[in-house]
Amino acid sequence: ETGVTQSPTHLIKTRGQQVTLRCSSQSGHNTVSWYQQALGQGPQFIFQYYREEENGRGNFPPRFSGLQFPNYSSELNVNALELDDSALYLCASSTLTSGGPGGGELFFGEGSRLTVL
Partner 1 sequence: AQSVTQPDIHITVSEGASLELRCNYSYGATPYLFWYVQSPGQGLQLLLKYFSGDTLVQGIKGFEAEFKRSQSSFNLRKPSVHWSDAAEYFCAARGGGYNKLIFGAGTRLAVHP
Dihedral of alpha carbons 57, 62, 65, 70, sign:
positive
Helix (H) or strand (E) holding 94: strand 87-94
Q: Does 74 bind partner 1 (CB under 8 A)?
A: no
Residue (of 25, 68, 17, 20) closest to 47 by Cα position: 68
Residues within window 83-102 making contact with partner 1, judged by CB under 8 A: 90, 92, 94, 96, 99-101
Smallest distance, partner 1 to C-beta of residue 82, A: 22
- Residue 49's alpha-carbon distances to 10, 20, 39, 69, 70, in angstroms, are 23, 16, 25, 10, 11
Residue of 55, 77, 79, 115 that binds partner 1 (CB under 8 A): 55
Give alpha helix (H) positions in 21-77.
none
Residue of 20, 30, 44, 65 that binds partner 1 (CB under 8 A): 44
State the distance between the two ends of the chain, measured CA to CA, in whole angstroms: 32
Pattern 1-40, partner 1, x by CB under 8 A: -x-x--------------------------x-x-x----x
In the complex, the residues that contact partner 1 under the rule CB under 8 A are 2, 4, 31, 33, 35, 40-45, 48, 50, 55-56, 58, 90, 92, 94, 96, 99-101, 103-111
